[in-house]
Structure 1
């Protein structure tokens, strides 16, 4: 099964995605990308907001690589291996967050959760896109100004919460637990 995880599923690509996340977040993380707003102006979003998508794409790439005949005859259920690898991916996020920011770690877990739910309902390509669309919606629609004119975020824009927000971490953790449970059955149409 170890060879299957490395040669077929290629779970090592998730580690490469984390290395890339840390490299991009460490060098360009404070850089700002222009993002249009619905009010007609341009807002800026830190590059670091978009780096968790790299990890989600890597996970979906690994989950997409299958050998159905080998998986159906395997002694160890491959889905357990996948569940363990996805759980390990989430566990590694705070370690990367120590280097690039805990908000990036939380967003990695949050986007991975959304990706797993989308993967369960649709396919890997959709799962990768859902996280990016969620981030764009957060940046475009999730910013508001309070009564004193200071920029803030709406209650639902979890990707914009600071890394120290316990509530945002709790929501991400609960969503990840639900997504992990839902994804245990695999993508739609492959249930046994």
Structure 2
């Protein structure tokens, strides 16, 4: 089964992607990317804000790779390995967060949770795109101004919250726990064939 997880699922790509994320954040992460807003002005976001999508794409790549017959006859359900890999990815993201910022680690968990839920409803490609769409919607629709005219964010734009926001962390952890439960229940559209 270990060979299956390494050779077929290729979970080794996720730690390599985390290393790439750290390198990108360390070298060009502070570069600004222009993003339009609803107020008609052109805002921006640091490139590091979008890097969690790299991890989501790598995880969805691993979860998409499967041999249906091998999974249906396995002694230990592959979805348990997937849950363990998701939890390990979140843990490694927090280790990387010590270098790149804990808001990036939180957003990795948040986007992974959204991707697993989207995968349950659709497929891996949709799941990977859902994270990027969520980040863009946060930037375009989630920015606001407080009474003093300073830039702020709306209550639902969790990805824009600072790293020390308890509410954002609580929401992210609850959504991630839900995603792990959903991942343990099956593999979305392909799960009927894998059981």
The verdict on a shared fold, with TM-score over 0.5 as the criterion, is yes
Provide the residue aligned with 2:105 in structure 1: 105
Provide the residue aligned with 1:5 in structure 2: 5
In structure 2, C-alpha distance between the alignment counterparts of 1:31 and 1:39, rounded to whole Å: 23
Q: What TM-score do the two structures reach when normalised by structure 1?
A: 0.97
Spell out the pairing of 1:47-66 with structure 2 (5 A cutoff).
Answer: 47-66=47-66
In structure 1, C-alpha distance between the alignment counterparts of 2:107 and 2:190, rounded to whole Å: 29
Tell me how far 1:13 sits from its aligned partner. 0.6
Aligned length: 192
Tell me how far 1:31 sits from its aligned partner. 1.3
Provide the residue aligned with 1:190 in structure 2: 191
In structure 2, C-alpha distance between the alignment counterparts of 1:145 and 1:64, rounded to whole Å: 41
Provide the residue aligned with 2:81 in structure 1: 81
8 A Cα contact 1:119 1:183, kept in partner:
no
SS in 1 for 2:33: strand
Provide the residue aligned with 1:141 in structure 2: 141
8 A Cα contact 1:35 1:43, kept in partner:
yes
Deviations 1:118-165 (A, max 9, x none): 001100000000000000000111111111111001110000001111
Q: What TM-score do the two structures reach when normalised by structure 2?
A: 0.96
Gaps of 5+ in 2: none
Spell out the pairing of 1:1-192 with structure 2 (5 A cutoff).
Answer: 1-184=1-184, 185-191=186-192, 192=195
SS in 2 for 1:144: strand
Report which stretch shifted further, 101-110 or 35-44: 35-44
In structure 2, C-alpha distance between the alignment counterparts of 1:79 and 1:107, rounded to whole Å: 23
Deviations 1:86-136 (A, max 9, x none): 111111111110010000000000000000000011000000000000000
SS in 1 for 2:188: coil
Gaps of 5+ in 1: none
Tell me how far 1:39 sits from its aligned partner. 2.0
